[in-house]
Amino acid sequence: MSCLTGKSIVLTGGGAGIGFGILRQCIAAGAEVTVFDVNPEHAARVGAEGGHFVQLDVGDPLALQSAAQQISKCDGLVNNAGITIQKPLSHLTLADMELLWAVNQRAVLLLCQALAPKMAEGGAIVNVASNHAKASAAGYEAYAGTKGAIVAMTRALAWSLGPQGIRVNALAPGLTMTETVQRAADATPGLSDTFDAWHASGTPASVDEIGKVAVYLLSDASAALTGSEIIADHGMSARLGALT
């Protein structure tokens, strides 16, 4: 697959988890990828895949805008960086809310604002949301809110940037077998079977499967899509009733 050959992609949070799967698949598709990631320990693995690593906390607006100014060419942007905070509503603090908003929501809008002017016609933006924007659970109020906001922002951005020839879509994964999820499944008897039962396919998505969807949304193969939300969760959020 070489559908991104010659393309320059900026990817946030590409050093681990779903972001690392997106990085691998973008590289495999021929793209040059610059990764904005907060963890310096991820630099080596990003470099080993062929990506360019920039240490950056996307929750810091001045640092984010400064890093964006250093990007000379941008054909595609994947806003993947995000954090999850799950706790009872009564224990949710203002600091929790502000951190989720800064990283999951504000950074997406700021980076779209900063990099869209550098994109030529045919550019594409993928905003990574979550199936929590559609089906959530107790304790995820603030997190789900930021992911729902990403989907709503994506619709508006598609119209703002459409005249410039830029497409904007939301990619909403569900439970995905990241390193963290795999460790939890390995450490808790029966949890892996529970995870499998939540999915129509009998298994959660892999990070590389999500990466391939991101590549599709960045490529000309998805030229008819903008302002769309693509739910990639192996049917998890399509189930009627509570997951048991």
pLDDT of res. 244: 53
Is 216 among the catalytic positions? no
- Residue 84, pLDDT > 60, answer yes
Q: Report the C-alpha gap between 160 and 155 in whole angstroms.
A: 9
* 97 pLDDT higher than 60: yes
- State how far the Cα of 125 lies from the Cα of 38, in Å rounded to an integer: 21
Is the pLDDT at 123 greater than 80, yes or no?
A: yes
Q: Tell me which DSSP letter residue 106 carries.
A: I
Look at residue 239 in the predicted model and tell me its pLDDT.
85
Mean pLDDT over residues 151-180, rounded? 96
Question: What pLDDT was estimated at residue 2?
Answer: 78
Q: How far does the chain reach from its first CA to its final CA, in angstroms?
A: 38
pLDDT tens per residue across span 23-48: 999 999 999 999 999 999 999 999 99
DSSP category for residue 175: S
Output the pLDDT for position 129.
Answer: 97
- Report, as an integer, the average pLDDT of 190-210: 94
pLDDT of residue 68: 96
Average pLDDT, rounded, for the chain: 95
Task: Please check whether residue 79 is in contact with residue 19, taking contact to mean a CB–CB distance below 8 angstroms.
Answer: no
Q: Is the pLDDT at 243 greater than 80, yes or no?
A: no
Q: Which of 20, 36, 53, 143 is catalytic?
A: 143
More confident residue, 75 or 1: 75
Q: Are 196 and 203 in contact (CB under 8 A)?
A: yes
Q: What's residue 49's pLDDT?
A: 97
* Residue 29: closest CA among 75, 91, 82: 75
Residue 135: which pLDDT band, with cuts at 50, 70 and 90? Answer: confident
Percent share of the chain, pLDDT over 70: 98
Residue 241 has pLDDT above 80, yes or no: no
pLDDT tens-digit series, residues 47-66: 999 999 999 999 999 999 99
- What's the average model confidence in pLDDT over 122-126? 97
Report the relative pairing of strands 32-37 and 229-232 from DSSP bridges.
Answer: unpaired
pLDDT beyond 90 at 160:
yes
* 240 pLDDT higher than 80: no
Q: What residue ranges do the domains of the chain occupy?
A: 8-231
Residue 161, token pair as written in the block: 């940037």
Residue 217: predicted pLDDT: 98
Per DSSP, the three-state class of 173 is: strand
What mean pLDDT comes out for the span 93-121? Answer: 97
Q: How much is the pLDDT for 109?
A: 98
Place of tokens 């988890």: 17
CATH superfamily of 8-231: NAD(P)-binding Rossmann-like Domain (3.40.50.720)
